[in-house]
């Protein structure tokens, strides 16, 4: 059974598939997956690909209408494509709150680029992958447009790969790659052939496929997606669209890439939480969750839901928690006007429960917490923890297990 809150909190959890491999679908593919945290905008991904020998369209990035107009003229292209830059898919069929339909527009006249750019920049674009109100567009990409005579795909799941697998399994091609040897030319040639490239195009495609794989390893990515990966009437293989994602564990190796992180699409509270290494996602309930570990956080949200309550957030303290993080976490929860109760659920395997208890006591006194607080702590130094909380003089409700904690949190809200 799917988690009741999985649809909202799922962006924080991703399936693990650590062994790299090519996967192709015909419209066709490369699958390289793992946990994902950092997501690059299309223009950032294309810049990385271009810098590593992959063929992409010439482009400029603009954050004002005048810059977009100037970029269109500088391109000196037969046709120009203007693309809104947000992380969500489905931009082409999206709708702006300015009234403009579509986040992707084509024109052969550089002088008219300003009109759609004016209705894109600073406005919200709603697609099937965004919240209902959409996401604000701060930048647009102005790129050279090519005719595409044939398309294939190199995505992670960009073309509903599960649906293709079920309805046309013969269109999916897999190539196992030895991570120590790297992709062999024979493998790249075979993949290019599977994708339907022939003659000189086959060698071009094989070269680009090899560069996709090498880029994936070089930058420690969890996903490199090219959608579409196509050919032009002039006989060129081009990576027309791009998406690259990363696991936070790669940050110490890829500092320049992580410095590109665009946090403008995050909620302000999420950015504030990230300053203290807290993972925070706001939900629509009124019981705040204060938990260590993503899976335990999901379980806590679920058990609140199953006991008739609604979680107000998804807050993961992580493993190496410090007292200052506990304090800041409470500060974030206290600032949320929806929160009517807080449920603390800590399993202290790595975490010293006494650190949590000291942080809770300090936060409650200094922040003058006014909502009910239900606490269940178990694990390392739990006896000392109970003494700290009992001697704090705070109106804390203790629980004997997680279900008891959830019931008490739900009941405390019902009384208010």
Which residues are known to be catalytic? Answer: 153, 225
Residue linked to tokens 């794989």: 213
Which residues does 413 contact at the CB level (< 8 Å), separation at least 6? Answer: 286, 287, 309, 340, 341, 372
Distance CA 229, CA 211 (A): 13
Q: Can you point out the beta strands (E) in 271-339?
A: 279-282, 287-291, 313-316
Tokens standing for residue 101: 């339909």
Distance CA 126, CA 134 (A): 4
Task: Tell me how far CA of residue 96 lies from CA of 37, 82, 87, 130, in angstroms.
Answer: 27, 14, 15, 12
Q: Are 172 and 165 in contact (CB under 8 A)?
A: yes
Phi-psi region of 271 (alpha: psi -120 to 50; beta: other; left: phi over 0): alpha
Burial 348-363 (b: 16+ CB within 10 A, else e): beebbbbbbbbbbbbb
Q: Cα separation of 392 and 373, whole Å?
A: 13
Q: How far is CA 326 from CA 347, 357, 360, 397, in A?
A: 14, 9, 7, 18
Radius of gyration of the chain (CA): 25
* Token digits of residue 129: 């992958």
Question: CB-based contacts of 131: which residues, under 8 Å, 6+ apart?
Answer: none
> Tokens 């992959």 belong to which residue?
54
């Amino acid at each position: 059974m799917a988690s009741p809150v999985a649809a909202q909190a799922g962006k924080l959890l991703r399936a693990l598939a650590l062994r790299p491999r090519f996967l192709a679908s015909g419209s066709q593919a490369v699958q390289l997956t793992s946990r994902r945290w950092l997501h690059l905008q299309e223009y950032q991904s294309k810049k990385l690909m271009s810098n590593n020998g992959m063929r992409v369209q010439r482009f400029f990035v603009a954050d004002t209408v005048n810059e977009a107009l100037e970029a269109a003229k500088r391109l000196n292209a037969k046709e120009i494509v203007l693309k809104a830059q947000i992380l969500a898919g489905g931009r082409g069929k999206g709708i702006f709150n300015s009234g403009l339909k579509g986040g992707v527009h084509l024109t052969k006249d550089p002088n008219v680029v300003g009109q759609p750019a004016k209705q894109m920049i600073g406005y919200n674009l709603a697609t099937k992958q965004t919240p209902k109100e959409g996401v604000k567009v701060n930048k647009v990409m102005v790129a050279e447009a090519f005719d595409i005579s044939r398309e294939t795909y190199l995505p992670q799941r960009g073309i509903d790969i599960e649906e293709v697998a079920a309805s046309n399994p013969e269109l999916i091609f897999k190539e196992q790659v030895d991570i120590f040897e790297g992709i062999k030319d024979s493998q790249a040639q075979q993949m290019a052939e599977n994708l339907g490239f022939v003659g000189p195009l086959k060698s071009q495609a094989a070269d680009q496929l090899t560069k996709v794989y090498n880029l994936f390893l070089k930058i420690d990515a969890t996903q490199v997606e090219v959608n579409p990966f196509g050919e032009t009437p002039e006989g060129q293989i081009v990576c027309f669209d791009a998406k690259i994602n990363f696991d936070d564990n790669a940050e110490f190796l890829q500092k320049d890439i992580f410095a590109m992180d665009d946090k403008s699409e995050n909620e302000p509270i999420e950015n504030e939480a990230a300053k203290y290494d807290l993972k925070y996602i706001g939900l629509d309930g009124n019981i705040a969750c204060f938990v260590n570990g993503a899976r335990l956080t999901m379980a806590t949200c679920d058990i609140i839901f199953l006991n008739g309550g609604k979680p107000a957030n998804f807050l993961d303290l992580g493993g190496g928690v410090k007292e200052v993080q506990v304090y800041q976490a409470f500060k974030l929860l206290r600032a949320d006007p929806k929160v009517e109760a807080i449920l603390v659920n800590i399993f202290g395997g790595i975490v010293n429960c006494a650190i949590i208890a000291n942080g809770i006591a300090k936060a409650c006194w200094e922040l003058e917490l006014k909502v009910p607080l239900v606490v269940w702590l178990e694990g390392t130094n739990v006896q000392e923890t109970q003494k700290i909380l009992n001697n704090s003089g705070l109106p804390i409700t203790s629980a004997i297990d997680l279900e008891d904690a959830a019931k008490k949190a739900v009941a405390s809200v019902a009384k208010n």
